[in-house]
Structure 1
Amino acid sequence: MAPSASLPPFSRGVPKMLAALRPSGRAGDGDTFVVCGANALTYRLVEELSQRYGAQVTVMMTPAQKRSGRDFSDLAGVRVVTAERLDDRAFVSAGIRTAAGLALTEQDDVGNIHAAMRAEEINSRLRIVIRMFNLSLGLRVRQLFRDCAIISDSAIAAPAFVQAALGDGAPTYFRLSGRTLYAASRADVAPSDVICDLSQTGPDGAPDVLPVVDRPGPTDVVLAVAHGERQTNGHARGTPLRKARPWSLGPLVRNLRQSVSRSLRIALAVTFGVLLAGGVSLVISSGEGVWVGIYQTLLTAFSGADASEDIAVQISQLVVTVAGMALVPLLTATVVEGLVNTRLAVSSGRLLTRRENHVVVVGLGNVGTRVIRSLHDLGVPVVAIDKNPDARGVALARELEIPLIIGDASREETLRTASITTCSALVIVSTDDVVNLEAALGGRTLRPGLKVVVRLFDTDFAERLQRTFSIGTSRSVSALAAPAFAASLLEREVLATIPIGRRVLLVAELPIAPGSRLDGRAIGEIGSAGEARVIALSALGEPRPIWSPATERRLEPLDRLTVIATRAGLSRLLRLAAAPDDPIGHAVAVAR
C-alpha cells in the first residue's frame, strides 16, 4: 500500500496539483529543507520530499529522539544532525541560513512555535510549516511569521477514517476553521446551511462546476455546513440521532432495566400487580363507576380508607392499603438505586442503554478526537472508548454527550459494553499498533464480518493483516498527512479536494501579498464562473474567518482568502496574489 494509495479524497490531489503548478513537479534546483523530529510523520515527510520531489533534506533531532525514533539510514541523500536542543547553533549547523523551508513535526505545540521563532530570526525568508493540534491557536500564531503554515496531521487523516467507517455513501467533507463542510445534493440541505454552489447539471447532463447561480435545481451539488443532524427530505431537518424524544416510552424502559436491579424490578411488578388487582376488586365490590373506583383506589393506597360494612369492600380496601404501603418505599428505593447506578455508570464508563447502528471509536488522542467530532457533526451516533480518563478527547465526548467508556478496548467485556455486536463499524485509532490489532481481532471475534478500520503505521504489516485476518481497511496517519506537509513546504496550501464527476475542485488558502494585483480589489472581482469562488476571508488580526464575505469588501495586504477553484482558476489566483517580485508567481505563469 503506497502512501499515495491510502490518501483520502481531499489529499490525493495534492501531489498532482503540485506537479501541475511546477514545471517539473519537483523541488527547485538546489532547494534544501530542514525537518525537525524523529517520529513516523517525520519519516514519511522526509521520504516524500527526497524521493518524490528530489529535494535535499536535513533531519534535526535530539539524542533522546534518535534513540526512540525512526531510522533514516534507508533514505538516500538524507542528512541527519543531532543536537541537544533546537537552539541557534543547531539550526546554523543544519544549514538553516540557506534552506528553502523548515518543517516542525513533533507533537509539541509550544516547542514547535519556539523553534520556528528561532529559525526565522536566522533566515527571515524561510518557509515554515508547523505541526499543531490546536488550530485555533495556530491561526493566531501564523500571523507572527512572514511565511508560515499551520497543519494538523490528525485533521488531515480523520476524514479518511470517517469515510472508511461510513462506506461508499459517505459525503465528501472536510474541517475548516471549526466547521465541518460537506458536498451534498441541494435537495438534502436546508437553504440556510448552503455555503456556495459547486455544480449544476448542464443541458447535456454533464456537471457545470462553479456556475453563475441563475437556474438552481434539485440535482445541483452544493457545499454546506454540517450541524450534527441528518436531512430527511427537502429542506426539513431530521431528528438528531443521539437524542431520543422525551415522551418515548422505549428509552425509559431500557434505562429502568439497566439502572435498577432485577429483584427490585420484580418487587415493583408484584406490588403494582397486587395494587391493580385490589383496585379492580374495589371497583367491582363498591358498584361505583370506573373513575370513582380509580379515585377510591388511589386514595385508599396512599391515605387509608373509610370504614365499610361490606365484607368484599373491606377485603379490597385492605389489599389496596397494604400494596400502597409497600409501593412507597419501593418507589423510593428505585429512584435512589437508579440515580446511584447512573452516576457509577458515567464514572466507570458503562452504557446504560443498548446501542444500534452506531460507530465505536477506540482511542481519543489527536486523531480520535477529530473522528468523533466529525461523526457527531455528520449526525452519526458514536460510542467512544479510551483507557485513559485524561485523554484529549474525553472532555469533547462529554461536551457533545457522546457515550464514553473508560476501559481497555483489547478486552472483550469492554467491547461488549459498547454494543459491538450491533454497531455499524469499529474505528481503532490509538497510537499503539499492538492494542489496535488486539481490539480489531476482538471485535471480529465478537461479530464476524464487522467493518473494522484500524490505524497502523507499518505498510507491509497492514497489507498482511488485511489478507490474513480479512480486516478490510487500514490507514496510516503519517502516510495520509505527509503529502500535505510536503505540499505546504513547497508553498501550495491545498486544504481539500472535492470530486465532481470526473473533475476535481480544490479548496485552497491564498495570502494576499502587499503590492499584488489583488491588493485593494473587491472580492466580487476575484471569483469567476467556472473557475473560482471565494467562501471565506481571514482578515489580519481577526481570530475568526468571515464566511461568504460581501462582494464589495476590498482586500488588504496579508488578508487570506479561502477559495474553491479549478486547477486553472487556482493557478490564476496564485499569480494574482503573489508579490510583484515573487518568483513563485512567475513559476505559476510558466506552469500554465
Structure 2
Amino acid sequence: MVVCGDDALAIRLAAELREVYRQRVVLVAPSGDHAEETEPIAVVSRAARLLRRPDSPGGTPPPPQDVTSSSPSEAALLRAGVDRAAALALLYEDDETNLRAALAARRLSPGLRLVVRMYNRKLGQHLEELLDQAALLAAPGTDRALLDASTTVLSDADTAAPALAATAVAGTSKVVQADGVLLRAAERTPSERGEAADPGLCTLALLSSTTTDPAGAEGSDTSGPQAPLLLPDDEAVASAAGRGSVVLETVRYAGHALSSRRLARRGVPLRDLFSARLRWALTGIVGCVLALTLTTTLLTDADPVHAAYLTLLDLFSINDPAVEESTTRQILQLLTGLVGLALLPLLVAGALEALGTFRAAGALRRPPRGLSGHVVLLGLGKIGTRVLARLRELDIPVVCVEEDPDARGIPLARGLGVPVVLGDVTEEGILEAAKTHRAHALLALTSSGTTNLEATLYARTVKPDLRVALRLYDDDFATAVHRTLRTAHPDALTRSRSVTHLAAPAFAGAMMGRQILGAIPVERKVLLFAALIVAGNPQFEGRTVAGAFRPGAWRVLALDTASPGARRPDLASSHQEGDEPQLLWDLHPGYVLRPEDRVVIAATRRGLAELLDTSTQSRPATPWPGPPIVHRRADDGNAAC
C-alpha cells in the first residue's frame, strides 16, 4: 500500500493499514520531520497481497523505510513502487495536487486501486467515473464487477460525520456504515448481560473478564487472563458467565421523543404569524361585533343576517348615517363606529407583523421554548455541516451555535429549519440560549481545539452529566483530555475525537477494496465487515445462513435484497437522496444462499483472507488483454524493461 500526504491523516492511515489490516505501507511525505511519529508504521518498498497476513504478532510488517518527496511526481510515485502496489492513497489538502497525481498513477498502473481525498464533491464524482473508465479501457473485455481496480473519492469530513453522529447518539465512535445504516459495537459488562436488554443483531465477541468499564475499553488496560473470543456461537455465549460481550446494534436516538417535527417544519404557523397581544385584541374586536349584532337583532326588527350586515357596514364606516332612524339604531351605529376606529390600527399592526414574519421565515430560527433532549452542535464549518446533515437524517433534534453568520453550514441549517444561536461559544449566555442545560449531548466541532475544550468545560458547569464529544487535533492531547474529564466526571460520558482518527478507517477500508465496509476493534483484536458475492464461494453457495456460520472466523449478518443490476457498488458510501436501504438484517437461519446473492459478513482477518482466497480460486479466469509491457525504473534512474 502506498500512502501519499502532507498532514496527520496520511500518518494515521498508514498506521491503520499496518495495525488493523497487517499491510506493508510505503509512506510518501514532504520531509523526514515525521520520522518519530511514524516509527510504528511499516514503510517498505513492496506492497503486500490483500489480507494474507495472519492474526498473530508475527504477522507484523518489517520496520519503516519512507520515501521523501515534496510532491507526488511520477518519479516519486515510481520510487514508492506504485507500478507494483495494490493500492494508492492521495491525501494532500490541495484538490489539484491529488487530481494530477491520480491521473499520473492511473497511467503508470492501470490496475491500481486509487483512493483520493477531494473536497469538491462534484469534481470528485467526475474524477471517479473518469479513472474507472480508464481502468476498464486498459483491460478490454474485463467485467466491471471482476475488475479489482477501482477509484474511490472520499472527504475526511464525510467519513468522520457518521462516527461523530454516533458519538452524540450512542456515545461511541466504533461504528460501521452499511447501505446508509449505522451499526455500532455496543460493549456490555458482565452485570449488564444479566439484565433484560436488547440482544441486538448478534453477539460479535466475548470480552476478557477484566473488561468491566461501562463506558467501553477506550483508554483503559484490557489485558487479562482470558483473551477475547471473536464471533462465538450460541453455546459459547450461553456458557460465558461473568464475561462482558460486544453486541452489534443499529444506532438509534435514545433521547426524548420531542420535537423533530417542531425543529424541522418549514411553514409559518398562525401563532408565529401574529403576536399573542394582537390575537387577543382581534378576538376582542370579533366579540364586540358579535355582541353588537346580537343587540341589533334583539332591539330592532332586523333578522340576524341583516343585523350582522348592518353592523359590518357601520364598523367599516360605509353605511348611511341613521339620522331618521330610531334612537336605539343611532346609538348602535355610534358604538359600532367606535369599534371600527379601534379595528383600524389593529389591521395595520397585523399587516406589519405578518410582513416581518414572512421576512424572517427565511432567517435563522431560535430554539423553541420547552426544548429538551436535543443535541447542541458547536460549529457549522466543513465538519459541523456534514454532522448536522447526518443528525437530521436520523431525525435527531439539533440546536446549532455558530459565530460566523456566513459559515458554510448556515444555509443548510436555514433550509432544514434547525435553530441556530449566533455568537461566540465562549461568551456567557450563548450555551444557555442553546438550552444546553436540557440537552441530550454536546458536540464541540469548531476549528479551534482550545475553543472546543473551553466550551466543554463550561457546559460541564451548566449540566455535569451532559454527554460530550469534542474535536481536538492532536491525538495525544485528545487522549489526555478524555482521561482527565472522565476522571473528574465519572458519571458523565466524554469523548475526545480528532477528524483524522475518525476518517482513517474509512480511507483504509477503501484501500482494501470496495467490499470492505469497515473494521471495529475488540480489545487487542479486530473484526472486519465486508460485502461478498456468494457465487463461486463454496463456504456460502448452497448453504443456509446457519450452516455458513463458522465460529471464530466469519458470520453472515445481512442480505442485499436489491437485484444484481441495481446494486450499489459501494455499500460503505453514504446514501444518495431518494435511495432506500436494501439490506435485510433479520435473516432466517434456514435461508439458503443463492449464487446471485450478496451478503454482509463479520469476519476475523484470517477468516476474511480465507474467504477471499476461496472466492479468487473459484472465480473463472479473466481473458488476458494481450502481452504486457511493464516499465520499471531502477534506483539509479535507468529504465529497465
Query: Normalization by structure 1: what TM-score?
Result: 0.63
- Residue of 149, 153, 161 corresponding to 2:164: 161
Give, as a single letter, the amino acid of the residue that structure 2 aligns with 1:494. I
Q: Distance in 1 between matches of 2:543 and 2:453?
A: 50
1:474 paired with 2:474, answer no
Secondary structure of 2:327's match? coil
Deviation at 1:454, TM superposition (A): 0.8
Listed as ranges, the matches of 1:314-393 within 5 Å are: 314-343=333-362, 346=363, 349-351=364-366, 353-354=368-369, 355-387=371-403, 393=409
Q: Distance in 2 between matches of 1:180 and 1:42?
A: 27
Which residue is 1:435 aligned to?
451
Identity %: 30
- Residue of 327, 350, 354 corresponding to 1:309: 327
Deviation at 1:88, TM superposition (A): 0.7
Structure 2 CA distance for partners of 1:183 and 1:488, relative to 1, 3 Å:
closer
Which residue is 2:467 aligned to?
451
Deviation at 1:565, TM superposition (A): 4.5
Q: Distance in 1 between matches of 2:410 and 2:583?
A: 33
More helix by share: 1
Listed as ranges, the matches of 1:210-359 within 5 Å are: 240=261, 242-243=263-264, 252-253=270-271, 256=274, 266=277, 269-270=280-281, 273=284, 276-277=287-288, 279-280=290-291, 283-284=294-295, 287=298, 298-302=312-316, 304=318, 307=322, 309-310=327-328, 312-343=331-362, 346=363, 349-351=364-366, 353-354=368-369, 355-359=371-375
Q: Distance in 1 between matches of 2:313 and 2:234?
A: 74
How many residue pairs get aligned? The number is 484
Secondary structure of 1:339's match? helix
1:90 paired with 2:76, answer yes
Conservation of the 8 A alpha-carbon contact between 2:255 and 2:374:
no
Q: Distance in 2 between matches of 1:339 and 1:484?
A: 43
Which residue is 1:194 aligned to?
none
Deviation at 1:37, TM superposition (A): 1.1
Unpaired runs of at least 5, structure 2: 40-62, 136-147, 186-199, 204-231, 236-246, 550-554, 571-580, 585-591, 621-641
- Residue of 36, 42, 45 corresponding to 1:73: 36
Listed as ranges, the matches of 1:76-225 within 5 Å are: 76=39, 78-99=64-85, 101-108=87-94, 111-123=97-109, 126-132=112-118, 134=121, 140=129, 143-144=132-133, 145=135, 146-148=148-150, 150=152, 151-167=154-170, 174-176=176-178, 179-180=180-181
Deviation at 1:490, TM superposition (A): 5.4
Conservation of the 8 A alpha-carbon contact between 2:278 and 2:350:
no
What is the CA RMSD across the aligned residues, in angstroms?
5.3
Q: Distance in 2 between matches of 1:290 and 1:59?
A: 94
Q: Distance in 2 between matches of 1:482 and 1:511?
A: 26
Which residue is 1:494 aligned to?
516
Summarize deviations over 1:151-207 as a string: whole Å, max 9, x none. 554444333322332246x99975445x345699xxxxxxxxxxxx9569xxxxx99
Secondary structure of 2:34's match? coil
Which residue is 2:587 aligned to?
none
Give, as a single letter, the amino acid of the residue that structure 1 aligns with 2:161. A
Q: Distance in 1 between matches of 2:403 and 2:457?
A: 18
Secondary structure of 1:165's match? helix
Give, as a single letter, the amino acid of the residue that structure 2 aligns with 1:147. A
Q: Distance in 2 between matches of 1:198 and 1:387?
A: 42
Give, as a single letter, the amino acid of the residue that structure 1 aligns with 2:350. L
Give, as a single letter, the amino acid of the residue that structure 1 aligns with 2:495. T
Conservation of the 8 A alpha-carbon contact between 1:359 and 1:382:
yes
Q: Distance in 2 between matches of 1:479 and 1:380?
A: 24
Deviation at 1:110, TM superposition (A): 5.5
Summarize deviations over 1:271-290 as a string: whole Å, max 9, x none. 65466457536645763799
Listed as ranges, the matches of 1:406-445 within 5 Å are: 408-412=424-428, 414-444=430-460
Q: Distance in 2 between matches of 1:43 and 1:73?
A: 11
Secondary structure of 1:143's match? helix
Which residue is 2:13 aligned to?
45
Structure 2 CA distance for partners of 1:278 and 1:255, relative to 1, 3 Å:
closer
Summarize deviations over 1:318-349 as a string: whole Å, max 9, x none. 33221223322222222122223444xx1xx4
Conservation of the 8 A alpha-carbon contact between 2:401 and 2:422:
yes
Give, as a single letter, the amino acid of the residue that structure 1 aligns with 2:497. R
Q: Distance in 2 between matches of 1:245 and 1:89?
A: 55
Give, as a single letter, the amino acid of the residue that structure 2 aligns with 1:34. V
Summarize deviations over 1:422-444 as a string: whole Å, max 9, x none. 43222122333123224334544
Give, as a single letter, the amino acid of the residue that structure 2 aligns with 1:39. D
Deviation at 1:453, TM superposition (A): 1.5
Structure 2 CA distance for partners of 1:245 and 1:430, relative to 1, 3 Å:
closer
Structure 2 CA distance for partners of 1:172 and 1:283, relative to 1, 3 Å:
farther
Which residue is 1:61 aligned to?
29
Conservation of the 8 A alpha-carbon contact between 2:315 and 2:337:
no
Conservation of the 8 A alpha-carbon contact between 1:88 and 1:119:
yes
Secondary structure of 1:147's match? coil
Q: Distance in 1 between matches of 2:519 and 2:15?
A: 23
Give, as a single letter, the amino acid of the residue that structure 2 aligns with 1:302. F
Conservation of the 8 A alpha-carbon contact between 1:358 and 1:381:
yes
Q: Distance in 2 between matches of 1:394 and 1:245?
A: 15
Conservation of the 8 A alpha-carbon contact between 2:516 and 2:531:
yes
Which residue is 2:631 aligned to?
none
Conservation of the 8 A alpha-carbon contact between 1:454 and 1:473:
yes
| Segment of structure 1 superposing worse, 96-105 or 566-575 | 566-575
Which residue is 2:49 aligned to?
none
| Segment of structure 1 superposing worse, 322-331 or 290-299 | 290-299
| Segment of structure 1 superposing worse, 111-120 or 273-282 | 273-282
Secondary structure of 1:360's match? strand
Structure 2 CA distance for partners of 1:576 and 1:302, relative to 1, 3 Å:
farther
Q: Distance in 2 between matches of 1:339 and 1:361?
A: 27
Which residue is 1:262 aligned to?
none
Q: Distance in 2 between matches of 1:126 and 1:245?
A: 47
Which residue is 1:590 aligned to?
none
Conservation of the 8 A alpha-carbon contact between 1:230 and 1:378:
no
Conservation of the 8 A alpha-carbon contact between 1:132 and 1:138:
no
Conservation of the 8 A alpha-carbon contact between 1:275 and 1:320:
no
Q: Distance in 1 between matches of 2:277 and 2:601?
A: 62
Unpaired runs of at least 5, structure 1: 1-32, 185-196, 201-205, 210-220, 233-237, 258-264, 583-592
Summarize deviations over 1:503-555 as a string: whole Å, max 9, x none. x986413489xxx936xx9x975874444344167979987779469x99976
Deviation at 1:484, TM superposition (A): 4.8
